[in-house]
Structure 1
Amino acid sequence: MFDNRLRPVFEFLPASVAMLSALALLVFPQDLFPIMPLLAWIVAALLGAWGLCRFLQGAAVIRYQTQLRQLPRYRLAPRQIPTSNSQLFLGLGFRWSQRHTQRLVEARHPDARRYLQHGLLFRGVRRLEQILDGAAGLRWLARMLRADAWWNPFRPSPAVGGDPLLHGVGAAEEAPVSMNLDERNGHTLVVGTTRVGKTREAEILVTQDIRRGETVVVIDPKGDLDLLMRCYAEAKRAGRLDTFQIIHLGFPEWSARYNPVGDFGRITEVASRTATQLPSAGNSAAFREFAWRFTNVVARALVGLGRRPDYRAIARHVTNIEPLLIDYYEWWLDKIMLGDWREAVQTIESNIEPKNLTLSHRGRDHYALALIRFANERGLYDPVADGLRSAFDYDKTYFDKLTASLLPLLEKLTSGPVGELLAPRYADLNDDRPILDWMRVIRENGIVYVGLDALSDPDVASAVGNSMFADLTSVAGRLYKHGDTQGLPQARSHRRAPCVVHADEFAELVGQEFIPLLNKAGGAGIQVTAYTQTTADIEAGIGDRAKAGQILGNFNTLLMLRVRNEHTARVLTEHLPRVRVFTKTAESRVTDNNEPDTPVDFISQNADRLMETDTEMLMPADVMALPKGQCFALLHGGHLYKLRMPLPGKDRCMPSGLDEIRTECLVRYAGCQQ
């Protein structure tokens, strides 16, 4: 039924009368009232209790109307963020129900407008502030009037925009809201448009994950320095700086190194991680498949020779296959031939006539051609050698066309300092920067911040991000089968802390590799929290609507901040039940009296008609009107909560700047080498 709080406050009058009567009974029990003293005390107590009750009811009405206009500040210093081993703190809020939908309907009625506006004094101060701000000598007074401090009774409303009614209808009920940590295996999606609080929510979640001692991986395409410094500050506060690693493509000189294709469970993963970055629409699919096959041939040959694949080695052998073919054929023939085969190969090489060569073999290395002929004449077969031979047989011009899309990508990934970062030289003893190993990170419960610097080069950022997801998926497969003690002598299995992956700007990272990470890696302890602006971004990133729906279906927990897309808002609202709300309609009737013999000329009636209507619990427009720092959340199997996140407070552990982080990293790297 009607909540009926948007009205004049009538409770104070009976409360005042009751309290004054109680006071009179206590002070003048016999002078004003013919009543026995004991009975006077009893009656006074009853009147005082009733008056206090009515006063509290009136105060609740005033507080409710005030919170509809402006919420109280909610600020938490990082050290005050609650941390639990069983619950994940999300913010301050309440569970949304039919009652709040009813209150929202009443608050948006035209008759309630006067209760939602600030008073004349507040509006006058705001007008005075604008006038003083234009006067050169009185700007200090204007700054005081708009100061956001406890001593300023006229401080302006925070610049968060949106509709304050959405949280005001339940602000009196708000309390800390948490989700069970067991639910994080179902993964979490945080959706919100630009600059509405996604990064702040990420900071709150990352803070708790670091303090719990979990493995934390933060992948940030844009390389947000505030998020980096938050991770550093929390690692320092938790005493975990020794396990904190930074990979930042924008600062390769002090970043840890990472080989995106150097660690794998199956050799085919190298080609998949490389070729996935290539376009696959239309005719490009055929070129992509060729690039995959050729990259796979190169990777198999490198592994067969005992070399670790990397982007630089792949790029070198894509442009010139002959050195790799020669190295592999020599290793292979040494392995299977008992006699001296080199003399026979030299004889074949000396008998090669350039004018008799096929068009595809002209200009090729004669020694490589002799090795191929030697193996063919003796009927020798090796799948890797045969793959190298088929690549060698391609016409150079035709081959360049087939790899036209692969070569530019590899060149981006291997150029400049970033190339040194993504293709580390494992034998270089003069480079103190560590090389990231995901299995080692998980074993040590490490903390990794990855800044991909997507604003400078989105192609490289996307390629590295996709490779990281593929790498983590491969690691999850090994964890499933062998645990985290595979390869460690005399190591016993133990309870491993979860690996929490925070993927900011998720749409820039999503690829084919992300689907198995979501729907299969939860059992291996990998928990993904993804942040994006719209669901359409995911569809654009993956390039397929069905796969985008598959990805969205794997997120069991949803936090939705303000969005600017109705389709995205409906991802939340279409999962909510419909509710019954009441509306009030004023009616006024006049009926003429047709009997001339009676003194009554007409009959009038005034009434309020209550009507019950079936409506959505939450409309998409409500989600699109959220203030900054507020969100709706689907938790605990579809229960709707309204949340607001705390503003950050001062942090003594926060670094003074990026130089402090750089210095600490270089000192730690040098210490590890010693």
Structure 2
Amino acid sequence: MSDRHLIEALLRPPVEFYPAIVHSSCGFICIAAPWSLALHPSIGYGFGSIFAALAIRRFRQGWKIVRYHRNLKRLPHYAMTSKQIPVSRKFLFLGKGFEWEPKHTQRLHDCFTARGSAYLKPSKLFKFARELEKKYDNTFTKFTSSQSFWNPVKPLPPVEGIPAIHGIEPNEIDVVQNISARVGHTVVFGTTRVGKTRLAEVLVTQDIHRGKTPEEREVVVFFDPKGDADMLKRMYAEAKRAGRENEFYIFHLGYPEISARYNAVGRFGRVSEVAGRISGQLSGAGNSAAFKEFAWRFVNIVARALVELGRRPDYLLISRYVQNIDSLFLDYAKTYFDKQDLSLWGNLVEIAANIDIKNLSFSMKERPLIAVINQYILENKVFDPILEGLASAVRYDKTYFDKIVASLLPLLEKLTTGKISELLSPDYSNVQDERPIFDWEAIIRKRGIVYVGLDALSDATVASAVGNSMFADLVSMAGHIYKFGADEGLPATFRNKPQQIKINLHCDEFNELMGDEFIPLINKGGGAGVQVTAYTQTLSDIEARLGNRAKAGQTIGNFNTLIMLRVKEPATAQLLTNQLFTVTILQSMVNSGSTDSSNPDDDKVFTSNTGDRVLSKDVQMVTEANVMNLPKGQAFALLDGSKLWKIRMPLPAVDKDDVMPQSLQELANYMRKNYHVVTNWWESAFTEYAPSQETAKNFEAMMSGMGKPKVADADYEKAALSEIDVPAIDDDTSTEIDMITIDDE
């Protein structure tokens, strides 16, 4: 009835019930007593059926109005267990909702008119029950506050906001996104405690369960600056439910006892990446730019020397040699000169022992050997890029050198202090430490699941530095995959089918993690299978982090899918509303008037007229106020480029056989059972594709024939593992370095 007119009249009494009662009464009489209407029984049954059909039709129209009114105040309960969340290889489930059309803008506008607002207000009985609960706290008020279906005055769920924004469409469907659109990346905006984590749980659950065979599974990485224990437990529970608990890794700065270990600068395509990942954490604004460049240069010198000496760079080694560059210079000089002439080093040491320190410069009085080596390099025009770089560093006065790297030292101190040092600079020789060591190449090859908790509330600087380093490492790995594939370098037996591995990165509070490393990840990472879902509060958070509005716009411009929960910043809401068309809505205006008659001979004293006028008006499809008043767990989503959907996420329901750990201590016990010392180095990267015993024996025989590197000096550190010498790597070389360690019997 209401859908036959130009204006959809839903905010009115359900008058359809009156004809429904009349039709049902007539039908009852026609069937029960046809003789009272002088009808033959067969004819009465026919008329009764017609009246019954009309009654049902009118009742359904009236019930539509009643249901619409109820939806404006309270939405139906919507909850799901983890098992009930649908998983598809073609679609990504987001929740229930509807596609927003101009008619929904019309309905929402009508709700806020003077006539429509009456249907949004709670009843007097509801208000009375709430006032009663404020005054009394006894058994009776417990009854009124019960959420049971038989309670006529049960309170609204604590979701805040205006439920009418979603209630204007009673007919909901499952909202899904085409899985192929995820490579265009997704950004989720929402203020604190409005459902971002719940949305992340829904998406992460699907990513973990997607794919039945090891080749079809996807990599899932969740970056959590806060270190949310609930999210950590949820990921482990889903990994266990999917049979992937052996692929699950925890990296948590706040819980080092159960955390896996990760060397953020140990894997690289070019050695210069090491300096970029460390110096990238330093401020480059104003006068700090020069010091940042100095820091990059000295870290790069140290990293190149370590690689040439066959040592895997880590924060601890770099911190040690930045503060004591002399030691590294002597180590490298001895290695270099021994390759040229074994007797040369001894001659230089002898000269240094007999030199008169009074003839040395002030900066070299306590370093005679360094002065002799420098003099030898200059006189004999020895040129080696790494040796020259180290020599230029040691020529500085020690106090001057400390000043130009002063901004670098506090950062390295934070990254190498306490138990965090064990996580970020793992000791590969410590076979007693059962915590696994992972890198992104191994995680991607074995389709791993990683939870990264950065504990930013305890130390934001360390969290930001580690997060940025991880992103930089991922960018490097994405570039490698883009060029060579994830299985480059493996024997043909171990290679997977030629299909792209999907890497799902979920970045909570990503404004705290992002830097210059994050932009190329979302800009160019899609070609390597990287699919980023970023969660943050406001647009201003990104601008404040990057310090540049243009960079913030550059970042947001790389996200093709936008999901907007409740926000409290108009500029953030405008990211959505400015992308929508204006629509035309209709307004009804009542005209009424009267005119007195001035003709005394006329029988008419006055004339009157009454009418309705329909006016059209152009408005935004969704306004900033609509976005800023969303209830918790609800969002607007721009999917498939420009389609606007209104969605609400399912509430978590308790599953009877849920494998969710009750506490972090219980989770820690589970993880310790899974930690084990890996005997063969390849098992950490290829659990699903373990090589044959024959291949393993051949590899061990090959490695035993290579021997050990020579120990050049007694002052060298004695370690349980000796590292193999690797050839010198130039900055412009794109060959990937992978250090191999051998047990020192």
TM-score between the two structures when normalised by the length of structure 1: 0.96
CA distance in 1, matches of 2:194, 2:635: 9
Q: Is the 8 A contact 1:348 1:374 kept in 2?
A: no
2:362 is the counterpart of 1:356: no
| 1:8 maps to 2:7 | no
Q: 2:274 is matched with which residue: 270, 278, 289?
A: 270
- Matching of residues 83-98 of structure 1 within 5 Å: 83-98=87-102
Residue identity in the other structure for 1:655: P
Q: 1:287 aligns with which of 280, 285, 291?
A: 291
Distance 1:361 1:607, change over 3 A: farther
Pairing 1:26–2:25 present = no
**C-alpha contact 2:30 2:37 (8 A) present in aligned 1:** yes
Counterpart residue number, 1:341: 344
Query: How many Å separate the matches in 1 of 2:362 and 2:569?
Result: 57
Q: Aligned pair in 2 of structure 1 residues 343, 132: CA closer, same or farther (>3 Å)?
A: closer
User: Larger deviation: 538-547 or 500-509?
Assistant: 538-547
Q: How far apart are residue 389 of structure 1 and its match?
A: 0.9
| Cα shift readout 1:123-174 (whole Å, capped 9, x = no counterpart) | 22222333331xxxxx23322321223343322001111111110111x121
Match of 1:154 in 2: 153
Residue 222 of structure 1, CA deviation: 0.3
305 and 672 in structure 1: CA distance in 2 versus 1, 3 angstrom threshold = closer
What's the CA shift string for 1:320-352, capped at 9, x where partnerless?
1011001111111222x1452124312431353
Matches within 5 A, 1:118-197: 118-133=122-137, 139-170=138-169, 172-197=170-195
For the Cα contact (< 8 Å) 1:484–1:493, is it kept in 2?
A: no
In structure 1, the gaps of 5 or more residues are 134-138
Deviation at 1:496, TM superposition (A): 4.3
Q: Partner residue of 1:255?
A: 259
Q: CA deviation at 1:2?
A: 2.0
8 Å Cα contact 1:130-1:142 kept in structure 2 = no
Is residue 230 of structure 2 the alignment partner of residue 226 of structure 1?
yes
User: Residue type of the partner of 2:414?
Assistant: K
The residue correspondences of 1:288-367 to structure 2 (distance < 5 A) are: 288-335=292-339, 337-338=340-341, 340-363=343-366, 365-367=367-369
The 5-angstrom pairing of residues 197-208 of structure 1 reads: 197-208=195-206
How far the C-alpha of 1:600 sits from its partner, in A, is 2.0
Structure having the larger proportion of residues in helix: 1
State the number of aligned residues: 665
Q: 1:598-624 CA deviation, whole Å, 9 max, x = no partner?
A: 122222222222110011101111101
Q: How does 1:162-561 map to 2 (within 5 A)?
A: 162-170=161-169, 172-212=170-210, 213-335=217-339, 337-338=340-341, 340-363=343-366, 365-490=367-492, 491-494=494-497, 495-561=499-565
Tell me what 1:670 maps to.
676
Instruction: Report if the CA contact (8 A) 2:333-2:387 is conserved.
Output: yes
Structure 1 residues 573-582 or 351-360, which shifts more? 351-360
Aligned mates of 1:673, 1:453 — CA distance in 2: 32
Alignment deviations for residues 625-653 of structure 1 (CA, whole Å, 9 cap, x no partner): 11111000000111000011111111311
Query: Which residue matches 2:71?
Result: 67
Q: Distance in 2 between matches of 1:269 and 1:77?
A: 44
SS of the residue 2:176 aligns to: strand
Distance 1:85 1:167 in 2: 29
Q: Identity rate of aligned residues, in percent? A: 50
RMSD of the alignment, in Å? 1.5
Gaps of 5+ in 2: 1-5, 211-216, 681-745
Q: Which amino acid aligns with 1:267?
A: V
Q: Deviations over 1:432-463 (max 9, x none)?
A: 11111111111111100000000000000000
The alpha carbon displacement at 1:49 in A equals: 1.0
Give the corresponding residue for 2:732.
Answer: none
Aligned partner letter, 1:377:
E
- In the alignment, is residue 607 of structure 1 matched against residue 611 of structure 2? yes
User: Retained in 2: the 8 A contact 1:2–1:102?
Assistant: no
Partner in structure 1 of residue 722 of structure 2: none
AA aligned to 1:184 is R
TM-superposed deviation, 1:11:
0.2
Residue 136 of structure 1: aligned partner: none
The whole-number CA distance in structure 2 between the counterparts of 1:12 and 1:92 is: 30
SS in 2 for 1:89: strand
Q: Distance in 2 between matches of 1:658 and 1:493?
A: 35
Whichever residue aligns with residue 126 of structure 1, its letter is R
Offset, 1:357:
2.3
